[in-house]
Structures are given as structure tokens and as C-alpha cells.
Chain A
Amino acid sequence: QKEVEQDPGPLSVPEGAIVSLNCTYSNSAFQYFMWYRQYSRKGPELLMYTYSSGNKEDGRFTAQVDKSSKYISLFIRDSQPSDSATYLCAMSSGGSYIPTFGRGTSLIVHP
């Protein structure tokens, strides 16, 4: 079992839908949780950064962390075709600067 599990998709939704992307993890030492967006043949771009449990909102994006369930989510409201990309979750422990990435979920938002 990998430390970080993420469904690769693809997830296909109509424009305007609310998108829910999720990751589960097994390492209880993880404290820092990140979501990256990666367009085809580009490097990952940091979207959200959360420390410990709770919610964080930034525009159309909301990140949730539930450490008791070892489960993190990224919600995208009013999804747009430009949101079509691969979304990678990543997480690290307090003693390490090296994040462990999920394999990414491919999202397709169709007009």
C-alpha cells in the first residue's frame, strides 16, 4: 500500500459543477498538506497549502483536512474548462521538507 492514495480518474464534469478531489494517507506523522495543479507537459503549480486539520478557502477552491480519518479533499466551485488538469495531493511531516505525492487525479471540465 502506498503512503498516499489518489484515484487517477479521469473525472469528467460539466462546466459549473462542484468538483470534489480526494486523497487518503497512511502516515499519521503528516502535518502539512498541499494541492498542486499540473497542466499537460508542465510542472506542478501550488494551489493550496494547509497545516493540520481544518478547512481553508481561496476563491473557488476549498481544501479540507481530516487527520482523524487520514483524508484530505479539494473542492472546486463553479468549475471551468480551464480547470481541466491533473490535481496532485502532497503531504509531509513536521520533520521533513520532502513531500510525498499522490499519483494525481485527471480532471476534465467540458463546456
Chain B
Amino acid sequence: DTGVSQDPRHKITKRGQNVTFRCDPISEHNRLYWYRQTLGQGPEFLTYFQNEAQLEKSRLLSDRFSAERPKGSFSTLEIQRTEQGDSAMYLCASSHESGLATSTDTQYFGPGTRLTVL
């Protein structure tokens, strides 16, 4: 396991269709994050999990978006009824939170899934 992996790397879909992305974090990492990045912008936080619990969601995560992390391992991000404005790079990151005061929660990113909604 050399890093965070995401699948698919590219997805083209028609408006109104549902899409699902998968993220496999670094194996010992207990935290998993989803971000969205549009052209010329930095990543914007969507949601994060500690183990299987979804602890925080951004207001960017509309009710068409849902994320899961069953068993605290891989995670999926589903977008229902896609819109053209959903076109972006969807990034996953993972980190290990040790619970120590010195924990830095350094996040390691995957290569991203580029979504194009036609």
C-alpha cells in the first residue's frame, strides 16, 4: 500500500445521472476526507470520517451528495441527479490521528476523480 487510491480517475456523465466514487485510504489511517476542487481554486472541504463515523459535513454537501465509510476502511461518495455545476475534481485524503497532543493530522491526498457532467 503506497498511498491513497481513487477510482475511477475520470468520469463523464450526463446531467441527471447518479455517480459513485471510491477512495481507498492508506491502510493504517483512521481519518478520511473528501474535497472538491474546481479549476484555478484550492480544494474545498466536503466531509470527513473518523473510522466509520462521519463527523463533519460542509454546507457545500447538498442533499444530493452522500458519503459512507463502512467498517472504517474504504469510502464512497455518491452524487445523485448530477448537475453541470458538479463538474470538478473530487479529492480524497487520509490521515492518522494518534490522539496525542503532538499529533499533526498530516493529510495525504489521492490522485482525484475528475467528474465531467454534460
**Partner-B contacts on A (CB < 8 A):** 4, 6, 8, 32, 36, 41-46, 49, 51, 88, 90, 97-99, 101-104
Contacts and interface: CB of A to CB of B under 8 A. Distances in A.
Contacts of A4: 42
Interface residues of B, number: 25
A104 B108 contact: no
In order of increasing CB-CB distance, the 5 nearest A-B pairs are: A101-B42, A43-B109, A44-B109, A43-B111, A97-B105
A44 to B, nearest CB: 5
A29 to B, nearest CB: 16
Contacts, number: 50
Chain A interface main SS type: loop
Nearest to B104: A49
Given A97-B31, A103-B40, A103-B42, A43 B105 contact: no
B109 A97 contact: no
A46 B107 contact: yes
Given A43-B4, A99-B45, 10 more contacts: A43-B91, A43-B93, A44-B43, A45-B109, A46-B107, A46-B108, A49-B106, A97-B97, A97-B105, A101-B44
Contacts of B62: none
A43 B106 CA distance: 15
Contacts of B93: 43
Interface string B96-118: 01000000111111111010000
